[in-house]
Amino acid sequence: MADIGPFVEISRIQSEINRLFDNLLELKTSGSEGTGEWLPSADVYETPEELVVKFEVPGVPLKDLTLTINGNNLILRGEKRRTETAKGAKYHSMERPFGKFKRVVHISSPVNTHKAKTELAEGVLKIAFPKVPDKRGEEVPITIKIAERP
């Protein structure tokens, strides 16, 4: 396995911790939405031109997915339905997760959410946001006016 460096590993661990907290919050607040049975895995990375989020959603058709953005949160909701029913079968193992889900990914880079490009292929949903210049931290001149005397 290639050496991935400490920062990539720290980012992976942070992402996994965020995912676990998202799952815990979902279990507490789900009500009728989401069973908390599973959460799609997500990758988030950026290039010089865009920020990309990829969700693993194998077996989930497009009609069962909704994608929204609220502030800096990208929210994927959906449902993976059990397709086959084996009458009279005695299962020895059932490891494939099914059910409703809600996955929230925080977007920390400034992006244009209105020009997002999406594609669903081979069980992976890819969302690419064009990056916009980050004006935070940049010096901005402010004109000082002399007060007028009455």
126 vs 97, residue with greater confidence: 126
Distance in angstroms (rounded) separating the CA atoms of residues 40 and 103: 7
Q: Is residue 137 part of a domain?
A: no
Q: Is residue 78 part of a domain?
A: yes
Residue 3 — pLDDT band, cuts 50, 70, 90? low
**Could you give phi then psi for residue 44, rounded to 5 degrees?**
-130, 125
The domain containing residue 113 runs over which residues?
A: 6-85+95-130
Q: Is residue 36 part of a domain?
A: yes
Q: Is residue 149 part of a domain?
A: no
96 vs 117, residue with greater confidence: 117
Q: Is residue 141 part of a domain?
A: no
pTM greater than the 0.85 cutoff: no
Q: Could you give the dihedral angle defined by the CA atoms of residues 18, 24, 25 and 26, in that order, rounded to the nearest 10 degrees?
A: 110
Q: Could you give the dihedral angle defined by the CA atoms of residues 28, 33, 35 and 37, in that order, rounded to the nearest 10 degrees?
A: -100
CATH number of domain containing 104: 2.60.40.790
Q: Is residue 52 part of a domain?
A: yes
Q: For the chain, what is the mean pLDDT?
A: 81
Share of the chain above pLDDT 70, in %: 81
Write out pLDDT tens, residues 49-99.
999 999 999 989 999 999 999 988 999 999 988 777 678 888 788 777 888
**What average pLDDT score do residues 14-38 get?**
60
- Give the number of domains in the chain: 1
Q: Is residue 70 part of a domain?
A: yes
Q: Which residues contact 98 (CB under 8 A, 6 or more apart)?
A: 37, 38, 80, 81, 82
